[in-house]
Amino acid sequence: MTQQLILYPLFLQIGIGIILLFAWSKIKFQKIFSILGSVVSVGLSCWLFYYIWNYGTQTIQSGNWAAPFGITFVADTLAATLVLLTSIAGLAVSIFSAGSVLKDRLRFGYFPIFHFLLLGLNGAFLTGDIFNLYVWFEIIIISSFVLITIGGEKAQLEGAVKYFTLNILASMIFLTAIAVLYGLTGSLNMADLAGKIAAIENRGLVEITGILFLIGFGIKAGVFPLYFWLPASYHTPPFAVSAIFGGLLTKVGVYALIRVFTLIFTSDAFLDNILMVIAILTLVSGGIGALVQNNMRKVFSYLIICHIGYMIAGLGMFTEVAIAGAVFYLIHDIIVKTNLFMLSGLVYRLKGTNSMRDLGGIYAKWPKISLLLFIPLFSLVGIPPLSGFWPKINLIKAGFSGGSYITVGAIIFASFITLVIIARLWAEVFWKEGKELPFRPNFGYFTKMKTYKRLQFIVPVALLSIVSLYIGFGAEHIQELSARIADELVNNQGYIDSVLNLKK
Amino acid sequence: MRTTIILKTASNYLLPVLLLFSVFILLRGHYLPGGGFVGGLVAAIAFILHSFANGLKKTKELLMMHPGYLIPTGLAISFLSGLVPVALFDLPFMTGLWSHDPVAILGNIGSALFFDIGVYLVVVGVTLTIIFTISESA
């Protein structure tokens, strides 16, 4: 029963997707079923996490083909944690979609595709085979193309073209990198590759392959010179779609970077230096980009880029403390970024716009909602004891002990600039005296909604805020978890043994 | 759309032949070139040719249901073929299960065949949905 536990989250998502495809035009059924399915998914992921936490890394050789030849699925603590976070964010966005996405979009298969996207994310986290990782990335981007274009507004299509072009390019580079890697080693299993890459004498070729992976995943993660598609497209689709994109799609790129650079291309000074430089530039350029934006979703898009820098910096420093910081930040970031885009959706429904210049007076009119929205906003900044604060301690500590003072400077600069941006946003959107905006008769204002519809906006934001609060106030637990993940990543022999079945 | 009587007559005979051929390709696919994807394309071509000759309405009447429903049906068959070893024998997902004695014409039947049948249905469903949607809007 528990032997196949790793694959249950995948089974569940594909099952939900198929059933929702059968109920193509029954929107009401789709809403209810999607939310119920997501609740079950959270339960299953908790079970998986609990199991991995107690019994260590688990593997499944799909099709019963032995390890380096068949496709392996591996659940180590990192994968199990990310699957759990995906299901929590998925539940929140599912509820939020039921409330906020327009009927015209739901009629064209929004929910089934949404669950196929979650399937792709879970698969990417759980696979132990680099080509299979590519396949899951394809499932993710095909679903995301549908989600970003569904509805077909003009601005949306414009954003989608940019999104599409650069993501296809990233996939091609990723595929090329896999081909080169296969040519070098004759293997695709990541655990097997770890040993074979280390044995190759032509280090130059290995480094170049590493850089190809860095570019491929870097485009998806939105790191410094390759992020232009992200702020150009994330503010165009429906808010629920931005939420799942902002929370999870760039993070799956970060996950792939972490996995590849801790398992396959390890301790290579050249690659680590490149990662550090990229991280610093990402932190600075993302922060400065966010400073000049007026649209709330564009601000958050640039902040995504800025904060990707923290994780890349942690990876670049490559000590156990730094990677623990990066993982902690990843955990915090998935929850809080998903929440921020839902927050901007809620603000949009309150006032009918997302332009910070026109917004204002929300605190005076809706003090309780404002207090709720305070949590994700200032968790992002990391006002102690909220959740963004703790991972930075790890990162800065690692930076000082490694002597990389420029990185520490960039981290502090980015934190400061985030504080400025969020404080300004708070002042502009919530505190400033609101001006009278033209009333739009056909717009679904929050005040006109029925109670259950309002709850579909409030509950997901509240849910993720509670998780954020837990990450902040229960930082000890998350720190313990991140330290264990970092230990597994740095000392990767356990992962390799478990996949190649060496210990039994 | 005006069509010649030659195409119209030929398509009536070609439809069953092409469908049979697509099943043949589907079945030989395990060891030889072929399989669910190509077989599905050939089957879709059969229906598209029929719609060119006789009009979309006739083809839809022939199909009796929206081809879109073939997509989840095919997905479900493929998925279940992978799930059977998990559910019944506690083997890993997608482990190939094979019958001991070969069946006449078909040869040994295994779970891989059902996976391919699923692919076949998905390909037919997707292709026909795309083509029908385009020709309806044109």
CA distance B23 to chain A (A): 24
**Cβ A74 vs Cβ A59: under 8 Å:** yes
**Cβ A297 vs Cβ A155: under 8 Å:** no
Nearest to A168 by CA among A147, A137, A146, A131: A137
Question: Does any domain span residue A423?
Answer: yes
Provide the pLDDT for residue B100: 83
Task: Collect all residues with Cβ–Cβ distance below 8 Å to A375 and sequence separation of at least 6.
Answer: A386, A465, A468, A469
DSSP secondary structure letter of residue A355: B
Residue A504 has pLDDT above 60, yes or no: no
Q: How many CA atoms lie within 13 A of A411 on its CB side?
A: 29
* A231-256 average pLDDT score: 92
Nearest CA in chain B to A19: B72
Task: Collect all residues with Cβ–Cβ distance below 8 Å to A484 and sequence separation of at least 6.
Answer: A77
Range of the domain at A296: 2-433+450-499
Q: Give me chain A's average pLDDT, please.
A: 91
Chain B residues touching residue A15 (CB < 8 angstroms): 79
Instruction: Give how far Cα A297 sits from Cα of A119, A153, A293, A304, B28, Å.
Output: 26, 17, 9, 10, 53
DSSP secondary structure letter of residue B107: B
Which tens digit of pLDDT belongs to each residue from A294-320?
999 999 999 999 999 999 999 998 899
* A352-359 average pLDDT score: 87
Question: Does any domain span residue A321?
Answer: yes
Bridge partner residues of A107 (DSSP) = none
**Cβ A124 vs Cβ A137: under 8 Å:** yes
**Cβ A124 vs Cβ A255: under 8 Å:** yes
* A66-71 average pLDDT score: 86
Instruction: Give how far Cα A283 sits from Cα of A177, A302, A313, Å.
Output: 26, 10, 9
Nearest to A338 by CA among A456, A251, A210: A251
**Cβ A191 vs Cβ A72: under 8 Å:** yes
Which tens digit of pLDDT belongs to each residue from B39-94?
999 999 999 999 988 888 888 898 888 898 999 999 999 999 999 988 888 888 88
Provide the pLDDT for residue B71: 94
DSSP string, B52-104: HHH-HHHHHHHH-S-GGGHHHHHHHHHHHHHHHHHHHH-PPTT---B-SSPBT
Chain A residues touching residue B92 (CB < 8 angstroms): 4, 60-64
- What 3-state class would DSSP assign to A444? coil
Which tens digit of pLDDT belongs to each residue from B107-131?
778 888 999 999 999 999 999 999 9
Which tens digit of pLDDT belongs to each residue from A149-194?
988 888 889 989 999 999 999 999 999 999 999 999 999 999 999 9
Question: Does any domain span residue A438?
Answer: no
Task: Collect all residues with Cβ–Cβ distance below 8 Å to A467 and sequence separation of at least 6.
Answer: A88, A335
DSSP string, A391-429: HHHHHHHHHHHHT-HHHHHHHHHHHHHHHHHHHHHIIII
Residue of B80, B93, B97 to mutate, interface with A, max A Cβ within 10 Å: B93
Which tens digit of pLDDT belongs to each residue from A225-243?
888 889 988 988 999 999 9
CB within 8 Å: B95 and A63: yes
Chain A residues touching residue B68 (CB < 8 angstroms): 24
Chain A residues touching residue B71 (CB < 8 angstroms): 21
Alpha-carbon distance of A333 to A318, in angstroms, equals 20
Query: Higher confidence at residue A436 or residue A388?
Result: A388
Residue A197 has pLDDT above 70, yes or no: yes
Alpha-carbon distance of A374 to A313, in angstroms, equals 28
CA distance A100 to chain B (A): 26
CA distance A62 to chain B (A): 5
- What 3-state class would DSSP assign to A269? helix
Report ipTM (2 d.p.).
0.91
User: In the structure, what pLDDT confidence band is assigned to residue A1 with cuts at 50, 70 and 90?
Assistant: low
Find the CB nearest A63 among B75, B76, B92: B92
Alpha-carbon distance of A150 to A147, in angstroms, equals 5
Question: Does any domain span residue A107?
Answer: yes
Provide the pLDDT for residue A64: 85
Task: Collect all residues with Cβ–Cβ distance below 8 Å to A66 and sequence separation of at least 6.
Answer: A501
Question: Does any domain span residue A445?
Answer: no
Helix, strand, coil percentages in chain A from 3-state DSSP, rounded to 5: 80, 5, 20
Chain B residues touching residue A60 (CB < 8 angstroms): 92-93
User: In the structure, what pLDDT confidence band is assigned to residue A503 with cuts at 50, 70 and 90?
Assistant: low
Crossing angle of the two packed helices A130-149 and A250-263, in degrees rounded to 10:
170
CB within 8 Å: B94 and A62: yes
- A340: its two tokens: 């921020």
Alpha-carbon distance of A20 to A32, in angstroms, equals 11
CB within 8 Å: A11 and B75: no
**Cβ A203 vs Cβ A261: under 8 Å:** no
Exposed (0-12), middle (13-18) or buried (19+): which is B61, by Cβ within 10 Å?
exposed
Alpha-carbon distance of A504 to A299, in angstroms, equals 51
Chain A residues touching residue B95 (CB < 8 angstroms): 63-64
Task: Collect all residues with Cβ–Cβ distance below 8 Å to A98 and sequence separation of at least 6.
Answer: A31, A34, A35, A456
Tally of domains in chain A = 1
CA distance A109 to chain B (A): 12
User: In the structure, what pLDDT confidence band is assigned to residue A411 with cuts at 50, 70 and 90?
Assistant: very high
Provide the pLDDT for residue A502: 66
State the count of interchain CB pairs (< 8 A) between A and B.
39
Question: Does any domain span residue A263?
Answer: yes
Nearest to A309 by CA among A407, A212, A167: A407
Question: Does any domain span residue A440?
Answer: no
Nearest to A375 by CA among A365, A367, A387, A362: A387
CB within 8 Å: B68 and A64: no
Which tens digit of pLDDT belongs to each residue from A264-294?
988 778 888 999 999 999 999 999 999 999 9
Question: Does any domain span residue A443?
Answer: no
**Cβ A232 vs Cβ A162: under 8 Å:** yes
Alpha-carbon distance of B85 to B75, in angstroms, equals 17
Nearest to A244 by CA among A335, A380, A162, A348: A335
